[in-house]
Amino acid sequence: MKKIGVGAFIVLALWVASRWHTWFVEEDEEAYVPSLTPSHVLLTFGDTHPLSRNVSWQADSVVRPSWLELVCLADSDTIRVEAQGEVFRSRGGQAAYYVARLRSLQAGTYYAYRVVTDAKASPWYQFHTQHDAADQASFLYVGDVQDSIGGETNRYLCEALSRHPGSEFLVCGGDLADGPRQSCWDEAFRDIDSVTQTMPLLVVTGNHDYRKGVFQWLERRFPLTFSYFLDSKIADNQVYTLTYGPVQFFLLDSNRELPYLLTQRDWLKVQLEQSRARWKIVVLHHPLFSIRSRSRNLIQRWVFNGLFESYGVDLVLQAHEHAYARMTAHEDGKAITPVYTISHCSPKNYDIYDNDRYDKTIASSRFYQTVRISGDTLTLAAYEVYRHSLCDSLQIIKDKEIVKIIE
């Protein structure tokens, strides 16, 4: 028995040593000087109201007078929205981050805007608010991006949106950037350039967004960039909910330690109990049912999955494991919700291990998904990015109290 114990300890020690750099060693951040002209301009949602919007940007290394100029294109009415600024110092330098909150927008209206810091202005951008269609919604989803090959993802996103012009916003399952370094943030913004200045972006936290160590921690510049978290986080958890037409989104931070996850569960339970939305979609980074090992992410599954099943969550959008997969639970031989998907749009691919829980798995490519909701029907479709070819689809149809899933 002693020999077995010593052998097991040696194997464990060797395994930890092989993973030490991945888990605990942080790459250096190169020195940087931020642009004096506004950069990293990003349109996101704001508070829980579907017509609220935030615009964030970065400019200079100290806070300067800053604002957003907003023009309603229907009547050319122009207003000035003052921005709040905050300096964040990282290992490589410091930059000032700004956010302007738009809270008086009208439905079905085109707007133009630009941001200004210290009299230096960004280009003009345009966006359109959704109509008062209580039963319609359409968006594009991507998992990990982590682009490290010169902004190639930008071309894929632009092509995808040109093929699916009805998409109203973009959702990302975390790890938009490859790491918490300015060079990675710059790369991420090249990936989404010309896209997320004109349509809102929703992002959850991924493991690459966290600083490494015995205890991981999230830098302040993450919520300063994705500014809806500034007002929505609960006990230092990056959580957020938004109702958009017939669907309510619930964004979770699956990277945290158990006490934080339990706090998120309490928050989620209250939100689900209070929800009156016909459709419920959860977005989190770590798949509750891994396609790489049955022993992965067990804590996240234990904390959250019971709520998903008990409170009628329809769709769970996940990332982290660089492949595509879809799992539909079954009861009495019939497919039931929630539907769980995993997706990624990163240059890195992972192997899939034997996993008979999933109805569909595809490795060695990059993907995006479209989600369209019209009345009683939610249509999910997955596409491979290189040829934009359809590789998976299903419909969830709600007929009174009966839910049908058609693959």
Phi and psi torsions of 270, nearest 5°: -65, -45
- Across 109-175, the runs of DSSP E, i.e. the strands, are 110-117, 120-121, 125-128, 136-142, 170-172
pLDDT score of 80: 96
pLDDT score of 20: 44
pLDDT score of 222: 95
DSSP 7-25: HHHHHHHHHHHHHHHHHHP
pLDDT score of 16: 47
Angle between helices 298-310 and 258-274 (to 10 degrees): 10
pLDDT score of 407: 74
pTM, two decimals, is: 0.92
DSSP 47-89: SSSTT-EEEEEE-SSS---EEEEEEETTTTEEEEEE-EEEEEE
Q: Is 21 exposed, middle or buried (0-12, 13-18, 19+ CB in 10 A)?
A: exposed
How do residues 226-237 score in pLDDT, each as one tens digit? 999 998 888 789
pLDDT score of 46: 93
Which amino acid type is present at position 341?
Answer: T
Which portions of the chain are predicted below pLDDT 70? 1-25, 148-151, 354, 400-402
Q: Considering only CA atoms, which of 146, 216, 147, 154 is closest in space to residue 174? A: 146
Instruction: Please state, in angstroms and as integers, the Cα–Cα distance from residue 269 to each residue in 282, 290, 310, 313, 398, following that order.
Output: 12, 23, 10, 11, 23
pLDDT score of 374: 94
pLDDT score of 316: 98
Which amino acid type is present at position 309?
Answer: E
Tokens of 44: 């996101």
Tokens of 7: 């052998």
Q: Can you say how many angstroms the Cα of residue 146 is from the centroid of all Cα atoms in its chain?
A: 12
pLDDT score of 236: 85
